[in-house]
Amino acid sequence: MALTFKLLNKVGYSPEHQWNIFCPLAKLAFAQCTPRMHSSSYRRPGVPPDNTPPWKKIDFNFQKGVKEVKKHFGLLKKELVDHWTGPEGRPLVEHILEQTRVLWEFRCQQDLEQWVVSSDQEIGGRSEAYLKLGKNNQTALLCGTLNTNVPRDGETRYSGYCSMRSKLPQAAFNRLKHYDWSSFNSLHLRVRGDGRSWMVNLGTEMYFSHQKNDLYNYFLFTRGGPYWQDVKIPFSKFFLTSRGRIQDNQQPAWLDKINTLGFTLGDKVDGPFQLEIDFIGVCNDRAHTEEFAYEKYKRNP
């Protein structure tokens, strides 16, 4: 029992995530009060656990309340109107016939606010990562320094990563929403790197709560140099990992329940890095018919 508790508490997206799975209604009540935290619930070795009861973290603020109510009712109205027009707010014909969709592009500061940048400073490392707009405000530039010095806390063995992840999509009243990419089969990125290889992570909604650390990963190799590079990654190539360990039992990702998309750098090389992203989109590559690139045996290796 204690072990389960520990496992649940170790690393996760958010405390609300657990609420949602155990009791969907409780989430509605709590979600209003506590802002959704995107920092992980990982606790550094040697730091005492945060035992503050949740009701003490509630910030009663009338102004904030009014703002939230406005925001959520606005979202609700948008949802209702969108539902009237068609799926995802577009006419049905367009929805059925669309072959490509641009999910994120980086043209202004608001676009950057949909992303969370984190590095191993959370676990006591010394890497730095910053996300900012590019030269002529048309791209996002993720840059910083990677440092593989392991924090001297006696438990951590590896260090040195920087990552950028999209925030969870949310409907009105902080309900969970998922991206539905089931009509596409490839991820399309236009990037410009500096020769380092990155990892693309897809966070999907899983069925059980113990699967919340599961991610679908694939590599993103950058050429480097002054030219843009179009990368097309089929979703069938993504393999399942849990806490960075590749899993024996593989299954294709559920494309209608995508929560987050992220980029991680952890190539064990100290030094500066940069990745410039023009846009991130999904497309339907009709020449690609593969369902899943890896074997789905019961006992894999």
Which tokens hold the place of 245? Answer: 């360990």
Is position 87 an interface residue for another protein (rule: CB under 8 A)? no
Q: Which residue has the tokens 């650390």?
A: 213
d(CA 18, CA 301): 32
Positions in 18-77 near another protein (CB under 8 A): none
188 binds another protein (CB under 8 A): yes
The residues with which 128 forms a beta bridge, in sequence order, are 145
List the beta bridge partners of residue 199.
Answer: 219, 264
DSSP output for 72-123: HHHHHHHHHHHHHHSGGGS-HHHHHH--EEEEEE-SSHHHHTTEEEEEGGGG
In the complex, least distance from residue 196 CB atom to another protein, rounded to whole angstroms: 5
* Two structure tokens written together for 157: 């063995």
- Asked if residue 290 lies in contact with residue 186, where contact means CB atoms within 8 angstroms, the answer is no
CB under 8 A: which stretch of 4-12, 23-31, 96-104, 176-184 binds another protein?
A: 96-104
User: How many Å apart are CA 33 and CA 160, to the nearest integer?
Assistant: 34
Closest residue by Cα to residue 173 from 259, 72, 290: 72
108 makes contact with another protein (CB under 8 A): no
Burial status of residue 62 (CB atoms within 10 A of its CB: 0-12, 13-18, 19 or more): exposed
Smaller CB separation from another protein, 168 or 280: 280
Beta carbon of residue 222, minimum distance to another protein (angstroms, whole number): 8
CB of 224 to another protein, least distance (A): 4
CB 176, min distance to another protein, A: 27
CA dihedral 147, 151, 157, 159 (to 10 degrees): -30
C-beta of 6 vs 299, nearer to another protein:
299
Q: Which residues contact 87 (CB under 8 A, 6 or more apart)?
A: 95
Selection from 273, 243, 278, 277 nearest residue 128 by Cα:
273
Q: How many helices (H) and strands (E) does the chain have?
A: 6, 13
**Nearest approach, Cβ of residue 267 and another protein (Å):** 8
Under rule CB under 8 A, which residues in 132-161 are in contact with another protein?
A: 134-136, 138-139, 141, 143-145, 158
Minimum distance, C-beta of residue 292 to another protein, in the bound complex (Å): 13
Nearer to another protein, 88 or 248 (CB): 248
CB of 271 to another protein, least distance (A): 6
Residue count at the site for another protein (CB under 8 A)? 49
Nearer Cβ to another protein (48/301): 301
Which span sits near another protein by CB under 8 A: 42-50, 59-67, 97-105, 251-259? 97-105
* Contact flags string 203-242 toward another protein, x per CB under 8 A: ----------------x-xxxxxxxxx-------------
Assess contact for 177 and 169: CB atoms under 8 A.
yes
Should residue 269 be labelled a site residue for another protein when binding is judged by CB under 8 A?
A: yes
The site for another protein (CB under 8 A) is made up of: 93-94, 97-100, 102, 105, 107, 134-136, 138-139, 141, 143-145, 158, 188, 194-197, 219, 221-229, 246, 248, 268-269, 271-274, 278-279, 281, 283, 294, 300-301
